A = this chain, B = another copy of it.
């Protein structure tokens, strides 16, 4: 029940080359013979074998996406952005979940390389030296989302500046004690850069940063919840807290509400990301809006340009964020 180009050639009474030519529209073919071929294809229900084709032409129209965890609120939206433009340019995507685990990243990379992907979009908190070497030496074009590494194009936002604006927003509302629940501190962007933004905002306003108001979070809801609990248990709890991801911010809100405080009257919350749900929860979350879909779409667009050897302007594109005011502040 599975036919190949030879079968249709035989059926149409032509050679396999002309069949190939009509399939790919690569060379002129006399209308009449073209019809014969098309009929044969139709009749047999023939589908070309892309694997065989790829072997010959040396590209697969497949690209890889490595994401920490598709089940994490942040990524589905960017993956969707990637997929939409990938589809537009006729690429199909391999999806891999790395759990931020270097071993897994390396292993997936090897697998994808063997499968001859044309390019890769990588998300993760940082690319290890070993992985970077693999990437460079493979000469598979890679574009990073949300992170940076030497010689690898990337799309990001300015995390430090965004974080700084977030806490300035809080400060301008008259808050004096603003706490922060950070990301993982080994994460250069979500952890370090955003905390740095916090510090700079405080310093520029001439406020002393109190280390007790800084608690290290992680990525998920639970760490936000716990971070807020410790913050609110302080002798003098903050009146506002900047939480470095929306998911943690939702956890923090929960903890704060449970402790009998009102949001935003007693304590204001500022998140980061603008994950889909953040505008839908109650109270809705003020946050820094990252253009997730666009990040994906732009990264993929960048990749297609590289693949087509179009000149790319800057290969580090930094996108705009926005501060979004909702009910939690």
**Chain A interface residues (CB < 8 Å from chain B):** 1-2, 45, 47-52, 54-55, 60, 62, 65, 69-73, 75-77, 79-80, 83-84, 87, 92-97, 110-116, 137, 139, 221, 250-251, 253-254, 257, 276-277, 280-283, 293
Q: Which residues of B contact A76 (CB under 8 A)?
A: 70-72, 75-76
**Residue pair A250, B280 in contact (C-beta under 8 Å):** yes
Report A87 CB to chain B, min CB distance, Å. Answer: 8
Copies in the complex: 2
- Alpha-carbon separation in the docked complex, A43 to B92 (Å): 32
Report A140 CB to chain B, min CB distance, Å. Answer: 10
**Residue pair A52, B49 in contact (C-beta under 8 Å):** no
**Residue pair B277, A47 in contact (C-beta under 8 Å):** no
**Residue pair B113, A1 in contact (C-beta under 8 Å):** no
Q: Which residues of B contact A283 (CB under 8 A)?
A: 282
Q: With a 10 A CB-CB cut-off, give which of A45, A65, A79, A110 has the most chain B CB atoms.
A: A79
Q: Which residues of B contact A69 (CB under 8 A)?
A: 80
Known: A70-B70, A254-B280. A50 touches B115 (CB 8 A): yes
**Residue pair A257, B282 in contact (C-beta under 8 Å):** yes
